[in-house]
């Protein structure tokens, strides 16, 4: 449990409205894929399982940063049991932080993807629930050097 807890990133101490910018700030110039999910969300877990192999295959690139945002509605014991098998940076948000992100992007359900281009453009991308488009979008942005 302790080792799993150690892989949870410290959530930046900023207002909930600034949380996305604070989380992506250290990754300037990289392609950042943010996955909004929770442990109790079966479609989220299925999407993660489908996307995970891409990270060691077609999407194996140091210029891609994988960020996973779950909130406190995910039971901590289940959350820390699942995240070691998901390659990326893991943040556990407060309900207030998750709500601010939801309002900002008009999130209609999870999984929900937020895509950050190399030049720092942050956009909500529910269309990336389509796994082929997910891969294509990331590859195109990585190749845009």
Model confidence, pTM: 0.94
- Rounded distance, CA 102 to CA 112, Å? 10
Q: Which helix (H) or strand (E) holds 87?
A: none
pLDDT value, residue 6: 77
Among candidates 115, 140, 110, which has minimal Cα distance to 125?
A: 115
Spatial contact of 105 and 124, defined as CB atoms under 8 Å apart: yes
pLDDT at 9 over 70: yes
What CATH number does residue 36 fall under? 3.40.30.10
Confidence at 24, pLDDT banded by 50, 70, 90: very high
Please, is 9 exposed, middle or buried when counting C-beta atoms within 10 Å of its C-beta (0-12, 13-18, 19+)? middle
Q: How far is CA 12 from the centre of its chain?
A: 15
Longest CA–CA span in the chain (Å) reads: 41
pLDDT at 1 over 90: no
Spatial contact of 113 and 128, defined as CB atoms under 8 Å apart: yes
* Structural domain of 131: 2-142
Give how many domains the chain has, as a whole number: 1
Arithmetic mean of pLDDT, 117-121: 96
């Amino acid at each position: 449990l302790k080792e799993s807890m150690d892989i949870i990133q410290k959530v930046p101490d900023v207002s909930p409205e600034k949380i996305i910018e604070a989380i992506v700030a250290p990754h300037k110039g990289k392609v950042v894929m943010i996955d909004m999910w929770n442990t109790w969300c079966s479609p989220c877990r299925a999407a993660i399982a489908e996307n995970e192999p891409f990270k060691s295959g077609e999407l194996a690139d140091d210029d891609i940063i994988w960020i996973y945002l779950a909130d406190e509605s995910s039971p901590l014991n289940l959350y820390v049991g699942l995240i070691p098998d998901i390659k990326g940076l893991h943040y556990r948000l407060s309900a207030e932080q998750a709500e601010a992100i939801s309002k900002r992007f008009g999130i209609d359900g999870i999984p929900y993807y937020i895509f950050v281009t190399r030049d720092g453009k942050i956009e909500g991308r529910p269309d990336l629930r389509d796994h082929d488009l997910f891969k294509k979008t990331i590859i195109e942005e990585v190749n845009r050097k």
